[in-house]
A and B are shown apart, each in its own frame.
Chain A
Amino acid sequence: MRKRKELPEKIYATTCGYLIIILTLSIVFFIAYKGVAIFNQNGVSISEFLSSSKWAPENAIENGGPKVGALIFYTGSIMVSLFAVILSTPLSVSVAIFMTEISPTLGNKVLRPAIELFVGIPSVVYGWIGLSLLVPFIRANLGGLGFSILSGGIVLTIMIMPTIVSIAVDSLKNQPIDYKEASLSLGATRWQTIRKILLPSAMPGILTGVVLGLARAFGEALAVQMVIGNRVSLPKSILDPAITLTSIITMDMGNTVQGSVWNNALWSMAFVLLLIFFGFILIIREISHYANRGE
């Protein structure tokens, strides 16, 4: 009987599996390596980088040297993504409830494909629509430049909606049907059942969706960059233009010299972005641990 060991094939599959580890670790390593350069080589203190709002990376030595405070950028990121999540969560959860509880037929036939279409629209298209419709609309009706946290937040609200909707739908569908039937047989109306039984029990899943949405909003670069105005200053209201971590990276990375303070500061911001994402991943894992422990 032929029974060869099939070693090459096994090695091929195993290599592919391990390649993922190598890739992930090398991404983390290289971004971290470039990210700490500004603290090692340029002698910028970590607290200055994180808490200063002075951004003047091209400043000459005689004027006090370059200033690289990243406060403006990550407050911009945090404000615009929190805004988007606050706006998007109630909307998305309502859509998810409609799809699972109110009208599953319409939900499956009409809303599910619609949500998939939303996913399929590339982010630059969202940005472009925001730029050509939303920005002039806000400028005409609410004042300001139009390029603002508000526009960025609204564009992101639409972009993260599919993420939250699909995860909330899965979570609502996975609830034991007994809960619902017990509540309905006690005479509770559909709305009471949704509000008091389904939503609380589906909460971990919905929260996971919200965190994933927040992560997507945080990492989105181009759509936000197109509508937020990219002004390096702390915004005073949501109608002010602002700038985010991702947009300063995409805008300046190409125009700066490798190894300069300016360029190193951008890499440090990429590193901060990476660390924030590890935070998101940890939160999601915690939520799912918590949810699994309850069962």
Chain B
Amino acid sequence: MLIEVNDMNSKTADKIATTFFYIIASSVLLLLFFIIGYILYKGASVINISFITTPPKFMEAGGGVMPQLFNSFYLLVLSMIITIPLGVGAGIYMAEYAKPGKITDFIRLCIETLASLPSIIIGLFGFLIFVTKLNWGFSLISGALAITILNIPSMTRISEDAIKSVPSGIKEASYALGAAKWETIKKVIIPTAMPQIITGMILAGGRVFGEAAALLYTAGMSTPNLRFNNLNPLYKASPFNVMRPAETLAVYI
């Protein structure tokens, strides 16, 4: 009898727990739909072509976000140009060249540390080195380098994992054909690992758009009046000048 009663209780408890977990899971989903719905609802009423293509009007309602949007994209391209060779190179080193030992362990610790540092610390470092010490001022290049520091750990880790997950059969076949190490890396390993590396790039790119704290004090909080008809990268108001201050969408919010 006693056992049966216990059994009933634990069955009820099991049912209650299951229901509880369903409620929690669905409320998280509801919250997400609510957040996205709210952004779309609030945003959709304002977004139109002119919002995207006109500069904002200072201190008054109306205006658009053209310069900020352009800055975000340009910053993305700039930082990717720096991040990809460095991150993939470090990934190749960790996967193919590094020998197990103290230094490799230390690099791993450094990657872990860099990856978990708050972006504001990276931003302050960028402010100190690029903006003040190197005297580049608030500029796209400072911002791009700060974002690069932010993205290098994840880029390295993803390319290392991608390279390591290439089946060793493919690699050995290449060696057996007489290919040298770098030839194998370039012609066999990297192409095979490409899909994963591209995923890593997209993740890193997404971070550029959302990142604000690291850019506040590196890329700056202003944008000069851009002239989109002037494509000379050395002209001050040219949109392609890497030394000009640039405020991205996320910072503008």
Interface residues of A in 236-278 (CB under 8 A from B): 246, 249-250, 253-254, 258, 267, 270, 273-274, 277-278
The reply to whether B116 and A281 contact each other, CB–CB distance below 8 Å, is: yes
A55 at the interface (CB under 8 A from B): no
Asked if A24 meets B13 with Cβ closer than 8 Å, knowing A124-B212, A250-B120, A250-B213, the reply is no
Which residue on B lies nearest to A128, using beta carbons? B253
Distance in angstroms between the alpha carbons of A30 and B125 in the assembled complex: 7
Distance in angstroms between the alpha carbons of A161 and B31 in the assembled complex: 12
Which residues of B have CB within 8 Å of A182? none
The reply to whether B24 and A16 contact each other, CB–CB distance below 8 Å, is: no
Q: How far is the CB of A247 from chain B (nearest CB, A)?
A: 10
Q: How far is the CB of A81 from chain B (nearest CB, A)?
A: 11
The reply to whether B22 and A122 contact each other, CB–CB distance below 8 Å, is: no
Which residues of A have CB within 8 Å of B201? none
* Residue among B114, B119, B128, B180 making CB contact with A24, cutoff 8 Å: B114
The reply to whether B21 and A102 contact each other, CB–CB distance below 8 Å, is: yes
The reply to whether A20 and B124 contact each other, CB–CB distance below 8 Å, is: no
The reply to whether B212 and A122 contact each other, CB–CB distance below 8 Å, is: yes
The reply to whether B89 and A97 contact each other, CB–CB distance below 8 Å, is: no
Q: How far is the CB of A282 from chain B (nearest CB, A)?
A: 10
Q: How far is the CB of A221 from chain B (nearest CB, A)?
A: 4
The reply to whether B110 and A111 contact each other, CB–CB distance below 8 Å, is: no
Asked if A102 meets B107 with Cβ closer than 8 Å, knowing A23-B152, A30-B129, A125-B39, the reply is no
Which residue on A lies nearest to B88, using beta carbons? A16
Distance in angstroms between the alpha carbons of A192 and B112 in the assembled complex: 36
Which residues of A have CB within 8 Å of B149? 23, 27
The reply to whether A270 and B116 contact each other, CB–CB distance below 8 Å, is: no
**Which range holds the interface residue count of chain B?**
35 or more
The reply to whether A215 and B93 contact each other, CB–CB distance below 8 Å, is: no
The reply to whether A215 and B116 contact each other, CB–CB distance below 8 Å, is: yes
The reply to whether B25 and A95 contact each other, CB–CB distance below 8 Å, is: yes
Which residue on A lies nearest to B181, using beta carbons? A6
The reply to whether A253 and B86 contact each other, CB–CB distance below 8 Å, is: no
The reply to whether B210 and A122 contact each other, CB–CB distance below 8 Å, is: yes
Which residues of B have CB within 8 Å of A254? 216-217, 221
The reply to whether A189 and B14 contact each other, CB–CB distance below 8 Å, is: yes
Interface segment out of the listed A57-65, A112-120, A138-146: A112-120
The reply to whether A221 and B119 contact each other, CB–CB distance below 8 Å, is: yes
Distance in angstroms between the alpha carbons of A267 and B28 in the assembled complex: 38
* Residue among A13, A94, A190, A220 making CB contact with B20, cutoff 8 Å: A94
The reply to whether A161 and B28 contact each other, CB–CB distance below 8 Å, is: yes
The reply to whether B117 and A17 contact each other, CB–CB distance below 8 Å, is: no
Interface segment out of the listed B57-65, B94-102, B223-231: B94-102
A39 at the interface (CB under 8 A from B): no
* Residue among A95, A120, A128, A273 making CB contact with B121, cutoff 8 Å: A273
The reply to whether B22 and A222 contact each other, CB–CB distance below 8 Å, is: no
A293 at the interface (CB under 8 A from B): no
Distance in angstroms between the alpha carbons of A14 and B206 in the assembled complex: 28
B50 at the interface (CB under 8 A from A): no
The reply to whether B118 and A246 contact each other, CB–CB distance below 8 Å, is: yes
Which residue on B lies nearest to A4, using beta carbons? B180
Q: How far is the CB of B214 from chain A (nearest CB, A)?
A: 9
B169 at the interface (CB under 8 A from A): no
The reply to whether A20 and B120 contact each other, CB–CB distance below 8 Å, is: no
Distance in angstroms between the alpha carbons of A6 and B182 in the assembled complex: 7
The reply to whether B110 and A281 contact each other, CB–CB distance below 8 Å, is: no
A290 at the interface (CB under 8 A from B): no
Which residues of A have CB within 8 Å of B85? 16
Which residue on A lies nearest to B7, using beta carbons? A187
Asked if A118 meets B212 with Cβ closer than 8 Å, knowing A23-B152, A94-B20, the reply is no
* Residue among A23, A117, A161, A190 making CB contact with B36, cutoff 8 Å: A117
B17 at the interface (CB under 8 A from A): yes
The reply to whether A192 and B156 contact each other, CB–CB distance below 8 Å, is: no
The reply to whether B21 and A124 contact each other, CB–CB distance below 8 Å, is: no
Distance in angstroms between the alpha carbons of A213 and B153 in the assembled complex: 18
Which residue on A lies nearest to B128, using beta carbons? A30
The reply to whether B212 and A123 contact each other, CB–CB distance below 8 Å, is: yes
The reply to whether A158 and B31 contact each other, CB–CB distance below 8 Å, is: yes
A110 at the interface (CB under 8 A from B): yes
B168 at the interface (CB under 8 A from A): no
Which residues of A have CB within 8 Å of B96? 13
Which residues of B have CB within 8 Å of A1? 178
B235 at the interface (CB under 8 A from A): no
The reply to whether A27 and B153 contact each other, CB–CB distance below 8 Å, is: no
* Residue among B111, B116, B210 making CB contact with A20, cutoff 8 Å: B111
Which residues of A have CB within 8 Å of B28? 91, 95, 111, 114, 161
A1-B178, A6-B181, A21-B110 known; 9 other A-B pairs, CB under 8 Å? Answer: A6-B180, A13-B96, A17-B90, A102-B18, A123-B210, A123-B212, A124-B212, A267-B124, A274-B121
A-B residue pairs in contact (CB < 8 Å), sample of 15: A9-B182, A16-B93, A18-B107, A20-B90, A25-B110, A30-B128, A94-B20, A107-B25, A111-B29, A122-B210, A128-B253, A158-B31, A219-B119, A221-B118, A277-B118
